[in-house]
């Protein structure tokens, strides 16, 4: 018997991931979503890839705008992670506040206090069923905060145990 979607979801709950907000657009038409399916694709050329649900508002806006930013959250930013995961009624521009957001090269929204941010031009979208692999060429990047990154595992926000940190 092949594995079911539910069994797969249960297994993937154990997969620890860094938490990002992928943001796009310009005020007053910004949108953004919490996303963990993000990884570095290559350093030459400098590219990142994310798996984005094609039914999300953010995906529609990314395709239309051609730019987006990947903002990695710190452990201080669980409220933003929850907000951008759509856990309340705020949608699109309503999730943004000037206090938290600025812009870089592409004009896409960049989170001021992100652990790191990658400002990207959309290179290619590869449709894969419910999701799309979105490949971005990185135009600029920042490392803004020294706080440890926010993680997601077992259906919860989590942090690094820095006592375990040693050279890899
Ligand atoms: C921890 C966590 C990780 C998520 N990762 C992704 C992801 O990688 N890709 C995705 O399409 N949705 C992901 N989501 C779901 C989106 O954040 C959610 O559907 C969001 O409301 C979409 O917003 P939008 O429709 O305004 O763009 C994740 C949600 C949570 C809570």
Q: For residue range 97-107, what is the model confidence (pLDDT) as tens digits?
A: 988 999 988 99
Q: Domain span at residue 78?
A: 18-159
Count of structural domains, the chain: 1
Q: State the closest ligand 1 atom to the C-alpha of 38, by its place in the atom list counted from 1.
A: 8
What whole-number distance in Å separates Cα of residue 132 and Cα of residue 123? 13
Which residue's alpha carbon is at the smallest distance from atom 25 of ligand 1? 56
**What does the pLDDT average to over 149-167?**
91
Strand blocks (E) in the chain? 17-18, 20-24, 31-35, 38-43, 46-53, 67-72, 101-103, 109-111, 116-128, 131-142, 151-153, 156-158
Q: State the closest ligand 1 atom to the C-alpha of 59, by its place in the atom list counted from 1.
A: 27
pTM for the full predicted model:
0.96
Instruction: Kindly state whether residue 11 falls inside one of the protein's structural domains.
Output: no
Q: What's the CATH number where 100 sits?
A: 2.30.110.10
What whole-number distance in Å separates Cα of residue 70 and Cα of residue 19? 10
For ligand 1, is residue 51 a contact (CB within 6 Å)? Answer: yes
Instruction: Kindly state whether residue 38 falls inside one of the protein's structural domains.
Output: yes
Instruction: Kindly state whether residue 10 falls inside one of the protein's structural domains.
Output: no
For ligand 1, is residue 57 a contact (CB within 6 Å)? Answer: yes
pLDDT at res. 149? 95
For ligand 1, is residue 134 a contact (CB within 6 Å)? Answer: no
Q: For residue range 4-48, what is the model confidence (pLDDT) as tens digits?
A: 999 999 999 999 999 999 999 999 999 999 999 999 999 999 999
Which is more confident, 144 or 132?
Answer: 132
């Amino acid at each position: 018997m092949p594995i079911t979607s539910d069994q797969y979801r249960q297994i993937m709950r154990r997969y620890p991931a860094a938490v990002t907000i992928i943001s796009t657009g310009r005020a007053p038409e910004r949108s953004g979503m919490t996303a963990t399916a993000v990884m570095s694709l290559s350093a030459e050329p400098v590219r990142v890839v994310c798996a984005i649900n094609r039914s999300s508002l953010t995906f529609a806006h990314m395709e239309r705008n051609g730019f987006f930013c990947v903002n990695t959250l710190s452990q201080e930013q669980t409220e933003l992670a929850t907000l951008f995961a759509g856990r309340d009624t705020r949608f699109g521009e309503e999730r943004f506040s000037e206090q938290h957001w600025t812009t870089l090269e592409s004009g896409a929204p960049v989170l001021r206090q992100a652990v790191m941010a990658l400002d990207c031009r959309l290179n290619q979208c590869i449709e894969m069923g419910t999701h799309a692999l979105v490949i971005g060429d990185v135009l600029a990047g920042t490392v803004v905060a020294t706080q440890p990154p926010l993680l997601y595992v077992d259906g919860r926000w989590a942090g690094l145990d820095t006592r375990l940190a040693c050279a890899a």
